[in-house]
Amino acid sequence: MAQVSSISNEQTSPTSKLITLRISRFNPEHDESSGFMEFSVSYEKWTTVLEAILDVKKHHDHSVGVRYSCRQATCGSCGMIINGKPRLACFTKISELNSDVVTVEPMNNFPIIRDLAVKFEKLFDTHQKIKPYLIRDDTEIESNEKEFLQSPEEVEQYIQFANCIKCGLCNSACPTMATDSSFVGPQALAQAYRYVADSRDKGKDSRLKIIDDSHGIWRCHFAGSCSQVCPKGVDPAMGIQLLRGYMLGFRS
Amino acid sequence: MSKDEHREGIKGMANPTRYGIERVAYWLMRLSGLGLLAYFVGHIYETSNILRGQVGWNEFLELTQTTEGHLVLAIVIAMCVFHTVNGIRVMLGHGGIGVGKPARPDYPYEPASQNYRHKIGIYSAILLAAIAMMYGLAVMFGE
Ligand code: HEM
Ligand code: SF4
Ligand code: FES
């Protein structure tokens, strides 16, 4: 399937350079295995991997399957393996990769829809499983106060984990995820911590019960790869260990 | 595990090259744990040779007096030391100790859980294992 083609880019500027973009192609409906297509793409210092892929789609092969939306590391849809590591294509500049060859592949540990796009059903299912909402008996409308007050310190306890954009990079890097298809995964576990650590939430016990499972939190070995790839600084590994600290009685 | 799931599999799980020293420690911990388990089983078998009387016992012990035997024991020493020291680090981490405090993250988002305390723990486990192994080699080959 290898193919080299140069893109006649009308906007080529004196500062632009060339890289070889290798795109993994696979359509589960009729392909036996995946193969790479190679394209020569010009880039500037600020060009992102997503822009390079869209360049290929625009000028050469519009059939390349890729998912994206916000182009600003907010929607979480453009996660893929870029030069061996899970990253957001819209948040990764070609210049920062320091390589003449940029290889893009679909994220590991997710079923492939086509080419670079993967299925997120399982990610969203496990996210929902840990009850990602405040649990309490009263509601804001019934209570005398207009809102549930929190001090800045109380906000600090969880706000880092609320940054999660459900991009799945952490689940793709996780070594347990690599072999255990039932593992709840770093994304959902970090979200369990996000709600457990929220002073407005009263659902700690029910959430801990959900993750205290044979394919739950105990499958984490603190390899930390999730935190190393997270594009939003969520640090799932920290959340998971703090959560386990509660469960083991190290913390209250 | 079906192929459709596109899981990285054991090859990806056991590839220690991509995610820093923490993933190397994870890999060494598994390897040394399994190595120690294999040694433990071998050890039970070895000591059961006492049932064959003194001759059988001595015969078997001679295995450990060869160059290969020395090298295997040196690796066992290294595995033991690494597994114990790193095991203590991992247990503290699993209890939420030394993994950093939640805080509003700033670009470039260095994860607080992958901090110098744990890195020092990992490097000391490796260093102590190397020192113990070299000491063992010096004793065994220096006879
Ligand atoms: C003081 C001694 C020891 C300590 C502190 C220790 C600690 C640990 C810890 C914390 C883990 C879990 C690591 C993780 O979550 O990834 C572990 C795993 C393991 N240990 Fe030990 N251990 C010790 C001795 C031993 C011995 C003597 C054996 C063999 C007979 C052994 C065999 C294993 C095995 C097979 C694993 C599983 C490895 C894995 O799944 O990654 N350990 N140990
Ligand atoms: S924790 Fe980070 S890597 Fe994981 S899904 Fe959320 S934003 Fe993505
Ligand atoms: S396109 Fe939205 S995160 Fe990359």
| pLDDT tens digits, A136-178 | 887 766 656 667 889 999 999 999 999 999 999 999 999 999 9
What is the mean pLDDT of the segment spanning A222-245?
97
Domain count, chain B: 1
Q: How many CB atoms lie within 10 A of CB A136?
A: 12
Element (DSSP H or E) covering residue B88: helix B67-94
Residue in A49, A51, A77, A104 to alter for ligand 3 test, most ligand atoms within 8 A of Cβ: A77
* Percent with pLDDT over 90 in chain B: 80
| Burial environment of residue B118 by CB neighbours within 10 A (0 to 12, 13 to 18, 19 or more) | buried
Instruction: Please give the pLDDT value at position A137.
Output: 83
pTM: 0.92
Residues A60 and A127 in one domain: no
Work out the minimum CA distance from A26 to partner chain B, whole angstroms: 12
Instruction: Please give the pLDDT value at position A80.
Output: 98
Tell me what ipTM this predicted complex has.
0.91
Please indicate if any CB of chain A lies within 8 Å of the CB of B87. Answer: no
Whether residue B28 lies inside any domain: the answer is: yes
Per CB-CB distance under 8 Å, the chain B contacts of A33 are none
Residues A181 and A195 in one domain: yes
Which residues, in sequence order, are CB contacts of A165 under 8 Å at separation 6+?
A: A73, A74, A75, A76, A231, A232
Nearest CA owner, ligand 1 atom 16: A221
Nearest CA owner, ligand 1 atom 38: B30
What Cα–Cα distance (Å) separates residue B130 from each residue in B79, B80, B111? 10, 11, 29
* Percent with pLDDT over 70 in chain A: 92
Whether residue A61 lies inside any domain: the answer is: yes
Q: Which CATH number belongs to the domain containing residue A237 in this structure?
A: 1.10.1060.10
Last residue of a domain, one of A72, A89, A118: A118
Q: Mean pLDDT over all residues of chain A? A: 93
What is the mean pLDDT of the segment spanning A200-224?
95
Asked if B7 and A112 come within 8 Å (Cβ–Cβ), the reply is: no
Whether residue A252 lies inside any domain: the answer is: no
> β-strand A112-114 against A117-118: which pairing, if any?
antiparallel
> Residue A75: which domain range?
5-118
pLDDT in tens, A49-104: 999 999 999 999 999 999 999 999 999 999 999 999 999 999 999 999 999 999 99
> Residue B88: which domain range?
18-36+67-98+111-142
Please indicate if any CB of chain A lies within 8 Å of the CB of B116. Answer: no
Q: What is the DSSP string of A134-178?
A: ---SS-TTTSSSSS----HHHHHTTTTGGG-----HHHHH-TTTT
Domain count, chain A: 2
**In contact, A163 and A234? CB cutoff 8 Å:** yes
Whether residue B77 lies inside any domain: the answer is: yes
Instruction: Please give the pLDDT value at position B1.
Output: 43
Residues A183 and A133 in one domain: yes
What Cα–Cα distance (Å) separates residue B15 from each residue in A104, A111, A173, B78, B87? 19, 21, 11, 21, 20
Beta bridge partners of A43: A17
Residues A129 and A236 in one domain: yes
